[in-house]
Amino acid sequence: MKPLKSYNPSTGDVVGEVPVTSLDDIPGIVERSRAAQPAWNALGHDGRARLLTEAAASFRTRADDLGRLITQEMGKPLAEGIGEAKSLASVQHELQEIGEALAPETFDDGRHHSTVHHDPLGVCAAITPWNFPMAMPAWMVLPALAAGNTVILKPSEETPLSGQAYADVLNEKLPRDVLITVQGADDQGKRLVDSDVDLIAFTGSRETGKHILRAASGGLKRVILELGGKDPMIVLEGADLEKAAQFAAVNSFRNAGQVCVSTERIFVPEVIADRFEALLVEATASMTQGDGLDEGVKVGPMVNARQRSHVLTQLEAAVSEGAKVLAGGSGHHDNFITPTVLTGVTEEMSIATEETFGPVACVTRVESVDEAIQKANATHFGLGAVVFGEDGEETTRVARQLTAGMIGINQAVEGARGTPWVGARQSGFGFHKSKDGHRQFTQTRVLTKPV
């Protein structure tokens, strides 16, 4: 079988290659993983946590090289690649949280004495995307392993080297077969889903998520899905407009818009719209674009030509249907799309309804707060949402009416430590992080004795 080549989206150069896993080998890989699970589980939480902590420390010492690999494979600015790699070293808090979430609990009602255990499921498959090619694997692999499962990781075919490097770092300390990688594309993912795994944790597109849910239903396998978003931002009249515009630019263009909680739609009352748009255009001017390895670059390329053409198709359709370009909109060369600000975006445009995943900030002017809320909620998605307004009840009132899973008030959506990462509606199925998230990697068992 031909190896899987990885290309640098900024230059088109080959970064490296990995052998593709033969489909016929996947059942045997699952058997090996299953055979390794009891001994891994027998180490207990503390034993597993100690090994995972020791292994993760290497992400700090090797962050420069690993970050460079991330940037070469998918284009993000080097500082962000290094930041991603470095963040994977800090596992202690999460491991502690997992230990607490999975500790047995006792219940006594005077007649029965029960203990609730959270046991590992067995073998977990983790199928991951390319936009955070080490962090997304970590979000699934770490809690799955810490809970006593073994894991088979299939990284995205766009970033096989980063996925492999992530697993290789952990495997320097982990016992054999506790974490195995499968390399390839859709076919390997499908075969893994159909194989004898107990849980499938997936982050990726909504369409693939639906496929996985259908495929998993035959054996009623456990499934955790984190899918796309169409995140709205509402700017209220009392908002700090400079702060709001700065946030809108950063959150629309970060990672070239290839983030599941990117700001994809911005709703602004007519009375403040001129000022907000002017500030957004100003903030956009500082979004230097280029090869992520170059100094000062804030926005890299699209991951591949398919993603670029998807974004350009939406952009061109929106302009031909009446949206006005306030910044960017042209000069899209090679794999790049110039950070673009549109206004006059309406609900009928595909750019307002389908996930874009590109560096386009879309402004819609509204007559009232109620119109903003109604339009923000007019989507099948429901991952994140953001409201900028005065600190006070009105802003919170608006935030509480948004149908997303995570809502940021005057900030991004990420919550305090211990809170879940959760999508509503078609943005997800289950949780990441938090007690709720950690317990998904386990089978709950209740043991009851008479008192």
- Which residues form the interface with ligand ADP (CB under 6 A)? 127-130, 154, 156-157, 185-186, 189-190, 193, 204-205, 208, 211-212
Q: Which position among 80, 84, 97, 260 bears the catalytic label?
A: 260
- 57 CB neighbour count, 10 Å cutoff: 16
Q: How long a stretch of residues is the chain?
A: 451
Spatial separation of the C-alpha atoms in residues 73 and 16, rounded to whole Å: 9
Q: Of the two residues 129 and 292, which places its CB atom closer to ligand ADP in the complex?
A: 129
- Show the DSSP H helices in 75-120 as ranges: 78-87, 92-102
Choose between 181 and 395: whose C-beta lies nearer to ligand ADP.
Answer: 181
Within 10 A of 39 (CB to CB), how many other CB atoms are there? 13
Q: Which is nearer to ligand ADP, 157 or 277 (CB)?
A: 157
Task: Measure the CA–CA gap between 39 and 362, rounded to whole angstroms.
Answer: 52
207 catalytically annotated: no
Taking the complex as a whole, the smallest distance from the CB of residue 212 to ligand ADP amounts, in Å, to 5
**Least gap, CB of 449 to ligand ADP (angstroms):** 43
The distance of closest approach from Cβ of residue 185 to ligand ADP in the complex, given in angstroms and rounded to an integer, is: 5
In a 13 Å sphere around the CA of 12, the CA atoms on its Cβ side amount to 5
Catalytic residue among 226, 264, 277, 355: 226
Reduced to 3 states (helix: H, G, I; strand: E, B; else coil), residue 103 is: coil
CA distance 31 to 37: 10
The residue among 120 and 184 lying less far from ligand ADP, judged by its C-beta, is 184
Residue 256 Cβ vs ligand ADP, minimum distance, rounded to whole Å: 13
Reference 103, options 121, 117, 91, 113; nearest CA is 117
Classify strands 324-327 and 265-269 as parallel, antiparallel or unpaired.
unpaired
Would you say 113 or 310 has its CB closer to ligand ADP?
A: 310
User: Which residue's Cβ lies closest to ligand ADP?
Assistant: 189
CA 401/CA 26 separation, integer angstroms: 46
Site of tokens 């630019």: 249
124 catalytic per annotation: no
CA 323 to chain centre: 29
Nearest approach, Cβ of residue 33 and ligand ADP (Å): 17
Name the strand (E) or helix (H) holding 252. Answer: helix 241-253
State in angstroms the smallest separation of the CB of 40 from ligand ADP.
Answer: 24
Nearer to ligand ADP, 148 or 301 (CB): 301
Catalytic residue annotation = 226, 260
